[in-house]
Structure 1
């Protein structure tokens, strides 16, 4: 058994032990995240332990709500990409309303059958009062992405699952419309699962019908300019709308954003390709495509972005400079463009990763360390530094930190 498989097995055993202690002994000092423990407490008041499947809402009412809704229009616009992801990863995807009622699902071959057996289908009610702790409920309740792994689910019917969910908002009003969830078996859990859910939520939001044709009071301003997310799941947005770019095009935008004074063709080529035998004409073609996508907002001689740009890397590094470790980790979605072949971006990825890690070693804020351990679960030194700082204070995070340290050391 390889290291990843062994780690997942141990993580599952830890979750089962904690769940068993809570359910059979009422032990609330179990090493689980605070949001999981709170949900377990709510779930224990109901019948989630005995359920064999989610209760089903009225079929006609569910279909009527979904039909011609903004969510349906957005999901249908990007359904090909959603379905490919489900099939490639053997996932089951679900989109819910604000009451955690599933409105739409699509699944890979294996997970589709598993989903049907527990009513993870259109009309299924997945609030924790109905089926116990799950990622769909947490993402909606907390209005932030959530992961629930194996026996972190309260109901045994989904102890073999891992689920990642992220809220979906109206991009104009900011109103939460529901969540999107990705689920598979626990042994297929992957560190990028949560980032993928977040990316899919953003993709649905970017395809949402423009509600500005129905004016409302107090609308927040629409984002203007180019926004780049490079940490974790990379994406680019123009005036709030997601751009469909390949990896190389995103890398070019990243390099131009990181060099606001502009880059010559030769310098851009070196930063992007290094010593790889790629022709200059190939780079010119990529830049030409990007210029068209951005409405001409890339100048020549040098290549330079001619519009406002924000980039998540700057946010993380600025928070570190200000000593705001928790805010830095919150903004840090993971490694910068994992797998990039750009020497410049590879170097920056190392700079950012080391900066975040060193900031945590210098100031191991417990909440920041817990967030970081979701991204870097095997960083023993950071976990040890946090536990050493907390000592015998009895801090609420200590049991979970110890649990994660034990898992990382196996």
Structure 2
């Protein structure tokens, strides 16, 4: 039996009827626990396995309780995606309309905030509850481009019987995540969906390109806001004695005096005026500025001073599917920050190996290549920028006096699902500790 891997290019080259029959057979055999004639694509197989573990019924409907109009409007106002809707519409709406498809934009929870495109397809979408205010995460709707892109943190195309719930087998969809360039936080998903007959493998590249264009626009908006803050902060810093820095609400540096400039300073979520301890600076006096904050560093403080010594506990939380955090606490207080996928991988490995890992060992763990030590050292330098008080090096490790708690997903297979690092893949399959 031919068990080579299915791919979208082969599907597009097939007769439509033959491709549909093949996808249905692959799904039926896989869901029944038998070997399919062709292996499903890895991203689809991984999603189906998550659906098995959730106990999701493949015969369920895709209906969900819609958001009330006032809550929908509040979510629209609260997201930065609203600022780039014109870019998203210009890039996708017209093409979607002409190709008998629709554009859908969701928030980071998979709730549909906007949709537009072909009127006939919009009416069809109502039949599967692909409408404003509906929930399209994997947990509610099974394998689908929006939900699976949210779960994996990368662009995904799902066609016909690749959908876990059979109600969606007459549909095709391609979706890409949109991240906030200021802090890499996932903002939501942009998706193009339509009848299965409108499938084209190039749709995914188009959606991904438009998502990147929206991120580039947000990046330009951010740079302009930094320039405005710099113009306000520069004359103030000229009169400040000692070390001080002006940052925007996300910690990006606009101006600095008396110290080496850095790109960004990690700020606690509940940032406020007054005296605040920061891991990279020590204790600071915080004052508001138009569009940001002024941080005056107290001269008897610093990352190697009393605040650093007080750090005694680290909680590395990888239990949630798309949001990984590290929290540090001690006598001086506590703070937390969200982690990029790469930094989550590195800290997970150091939490596993309390004795430490050399740069070569981490390169083997993450890339499967012990020679990529320069890349590892650069990433670890970024990690230690805010965690110097709890991370040692030569080898890289958590300090012995620090208690480290690692929170993992309920099922090992859900550990950092987007990661391709050999050590993480091995941990997901249970072949390592």
Larger Rg: 2
The structure whose residues are more often strand, as a share, is 2
Relative contact order higher in (CA < 8 Å, ≥ 6 apart): 1
With normalisation by structure 1, the TM-score equals: 0.49
The structure whose residues are more often helix, as a share, is 1
With normalisation by structure 2, the TM-score equals: 0.46
